[in-house]
Structure 1
Amino acid sequence: MITSNPVGDWTWEVTPGAEKVRPVRAAETAIAVWNVLAAHELAIPRGRVNVSARAVGDRRDVLLAVDGVSLEPQPLSPETALSRAMSQVDSLEGDLLVGVRIECPGCWLESGVKHRAEKLFVLQVDIWKSSLLVVTLETYSDAWLTMDTRDREQPEVYAENAPRLATALEEISALFGAAPTPGDPNRHATPTETGFEDPMVEGFSYDDSWGTFEVAARSRLLRSRIPTSEDEYQEITDHPVRYFTIQRGGQTLGYIWASIGDEAAGYEPRTAAGESAFEAGAEWLLRLRAAHSQGLSALAALSWAAQSPPRPDGGLVVEETPQEAPSLDALEELSGRY
Structure 2
Amino acid sequence: MADITMRAEDDHAVLFARKRVRAALADAADDSELFAALRSTDLGQVSVVEVNLTTPGTCMRNGKAHRVEKLFVISAEEWASGAGTVTLDTYSDACMSHDLRGHRQPEIQKENAPRLKAALTAITRMVAVEVVASDFTSYGIPTKDGFEDLPDEDPDILDSWYMAEVPRRTEWLQSFLPPNSPRFAAETDAPVSFVEVARGGRTVGYLWAAEDGVAAGFEPRTPAGDEALDAGQDWLMRLSEAKQRGLAPAQALHELASWPGSTRSGTVVPGTQQEASSLEDLQDLSGRE
Same fold by TM-score greater than 0.5: yes
Aligned counterparts of 1:87 and 1:263: Cα–Cα separation in 2: 48
Structure 1: unaligned runs, 5 residues or longer: 1-47
DSSP-derived class of the 1:199 partner = coil
Q: CA–CA distance in 1 between the matches of 2:231 and 2:238?
A: 11
The answer to whether residue 142 in structure 2 is matched with residue 191 in structure 1 is yes
* Distance of 1:147 and 1:113 partners within structure 2: 19
**1:318–1:177 Cα change, 3 Å:** same
SS in 1 for 2:219: strand
AA matched with 2:136: P
1:70 paired with 2:22, answer yes
Among candidates 9, 23, 26, match of residue 56 of structure 1:
9
CA shift digits 1:188-227 (9 cap, x unpaired): 1011110111114795653411111111001112112221
Q: CA deviation at 1:334?
A: 0.7
Provide the secondary structure at the position in 1 that maps to 2:97.
coil
Tell me the CA shift for residue 249 of structure 1. 1.0
CA contact (8 A) 1:51 1:85 kept: no
Deviates more, 1:235-244 or 1:86-95: 86-95
Residue deviations 1:222-281 (CA, integer Å, cap 9, x gap): 112221335222211111111110111101111111112342111111121122212211
The question of 1:111 aligning with 2:66 is answered no
CA distances 1:146-203 after superposition (whole Å, capped 9, x unpaired): 1111110101110111000011111211223332111100011011110111114795
Question: What does 1:121-140 correspond to in 2, within 5 Å?
Answer: 121-140=72-91
Using the aligned pairs only, state the percent identity: 39
Distance 1:259 1:205, change over 3 A: closer
CA distance in 1: counterparts of 2:109 and 2:158, whole angstroms: 19
1:282-304: CA deviation from partner (whole Å, max 9, x where unpaired): 22112222222232222122101
| Change beyond 3 A, Cα 1:249–1:323 | same
Give aligned pairs, total: 288
- Report the CA distance shift for 1:52/1:290 in structure 2 as closer, same or farther (over 3 A): closer
Between the aligned partners of 1:203 and 1:195, the Cα distance in structure 2 is 20
Call closer, same or farther: CA 1:292–1:89 in 2, change over 3 Å.
Answer: closer
Aligned to 2:246: 295
User: Is the Cα contact below 8 Å between 2:15 and 2:46 reproduced in 1?
Assistant: no
* Aligned 1:131-210 pairs, distance under 5 A: 131-200=82-151, 205-210=156-161
- Does structure 2 conserve the Cα–Cα contact (< 8 Å) formed by 1:186 and 1:205? no
CA contact (8 A) 2:62 2:107 kept: yes
CA gap of 1:96–1:304, structure 2 versus 1, over 3 A, is same
Asked whether 1:283 is paired with 2:239, we answer: no
Provide closer, same or farther for how the CA distance between residues 79 and 298 of structure 1 changes in structure 2, counting only shifts above 3 A: closer
1:90 and 1:168 map into 2 onto residues whose CA distance is 35
Using the alignment, how far apart are the partners of 2:28 and 2:257 within structure 1? 47
Partner residue in 2 for 1:251: 202
After the TM superposition, which of the residue ranges 231-240 and 92-101 deviates more from structure 2?
Answer: 92-101
Q: 2-side partners of 1:154 and 1:124: how far apart?
A: 28
Higher relative contact order (CA 8 A, sep 6+): 1
The Cα RMSD (Å) is: 2.7
**Runs of 5+ consecutive residues of structure 2 not aligned to the other structure:** none
Q: Which residue of 1 aligns with 2:259?
A: 308
CA distance in structure 1 between the aligned counterparts of 2:19 and 2:261, rounded to whole angstroms: 26
Change (3 A) 1:263 1:222: same
SS at match of 1:182: coil
Contact 2:16 2:38 in 1 (8 A): no
Change (3 A) 1:232 1:92: closer
Q: For the structure 1 residues 280 and 133, does the alpha-carbon distance in structure 2 shift closer, same or farther, using more than 3 Å as the test? A: same
Partner of 1:29: none
Give the TM-score taking structure 1 as reference length.
0.78
TM-score for the superposition, normalised by structure 2 = 0.90
Against the structure 1 CA distance between its residues 320 and 78, is the aligned structure 2 distance closer, same or farther, given a 3 Å change threshold? closer
